[in-house]
Amino acid sequence: MNTLTILKNAKLYAPQPSGRKDILIGGGRILCIQDDISCNDLSESVVNIVECSELTIIPGLIDGHVHVAGAGGEGGPATRTPEVKRSQLLDGGITTVIGCLGTDGFTRSPRSVLMKVKALRAEGISSWMLTGAYQMPPPTITGDIGKDIAFIEEVIGVGELALSDHRASFVDTGTLIDVASKARVGGMLGGKAGIVQIHMGDAEDPLRPIYNALDMSMIPIEQFMPTHMNRNAWIFKDAIEYGRKGGRIDLTTSSYPYFPDDETKPSSAVRILLENDVPLDRITLSSDGNGSLPGFDDKGNLVRLELGQPASILRELIDMVKIENLPIDVALSTVTTNPAAAYKLSRKGTIHPGYDADLVLLDEEFGIRHVMAQGVFLVKDCSTQPDTFGT
């Protein structure tokens, strides 16, 4: 006998506004969405009914940049950050995560990221990863970027590589093209995005290495995913032009408000990008969760270190709506449909029949009440309010 769930009378953003609907869920998928679904039509099944008349349902959020196996270490062994916990993700309504390494490709490895991704999958979180780290040549699992992506189901791209940063390896144009082409072909063979996620540092004209690679190859601009594009005034200015050219722009949520004098607040950044004619589908938000957020002086010495919080992604989503006055569906696109499309995550990012039942149920104040991942309630009857997220 089948066990089904009906979410009744919910205000639905799929992410497009869809009015009040009933949602039928079974086998981890959304089976149908209708104005009214009657239990009389489901007599051969056990039906759990959840009344949602006071709730809003949105897709589970997708976080494309989380240091799931920990990161950091810029200040020595005591500054290494811990692995992410499932509860940290669920606190932010995150049901899909992409893990990566960062600065430390020496004492940590893609293998540790892979095992943490497998652990999160076992805990009900849809998880993938990027091979590589800041260093060149990128550390891999099989010894080759393309093989990692083509052969290992969980690996969907390479990153985060580092450019325009004092911690980055020297990357000439030919090397960057080689990495991107291997990722692209590996993605083609494995049916994956093969995306190249790049940590952008504080150097002037930071996107020049990417432009040089594009000028000297036939790699499409969408293959690159530069992240931290709101980290300072000059990179954010360059991001506007990059987005107009069709490039993807990933904004980091967890570093604000730690560095308010340098960073553009992500929710404000989305509004500014849209006002400057950057296409909405080019814009994504990610948290940099459990990554170290270091501050350096002008000599490159570490002077402060903060820890990125995954739940910051929900905070900025709420601020896009409440402070920046962006429509809910526009704000949601940056953390649902847009990353799903960029990383080629089928059945993710949209509430639609046949898609995974990854859902977040919010109260009137945008506080999380329930989180469902692949048809299973991982959070039930929670009363967490949004002003606690990221604190």
Helix (H) or strand (E) holding 24: strand 17-26
- The residue among 121, 113, 115 whose CA lies nearest residue 160 is 113
CA–CA gap between residue 240 and residue 261 (Å, rounded): 20
Q: Which of 217, 287, 218 is nearest to 252 (CA)?
A: 287
- How far apart are the C-alpha atoms of 317 and 146, rounded to whole Å? 34
Is residue 288 part of the annotated active site? The answer reads: yes
What residues contact 346, with CB distance under 8 A and at least 6 apart?
A: none
Tokens, residue 39: 């239990």
Separation of alpha carbons 304 and 309, rounded Å? 16
Q: How far apart are CA 66 and CA 101, in angstroms?
A: 9
Buried b (16+ CB within 10 A) or exposed e, 359-384: bbbbbeebbbbbbbbbbebbbeeeeb
CB 144 within 8 A of CB 181: no
User: Considering 288, 329, 356, 358, which one is annotated as catalytic?
Assistant: 288
Q: Strand, helix or coil at 246?
A: coil
Helix (H), strand (E) at residue 371 = strand 368-373
> Which residues does the annotation mark as catalytic?
288
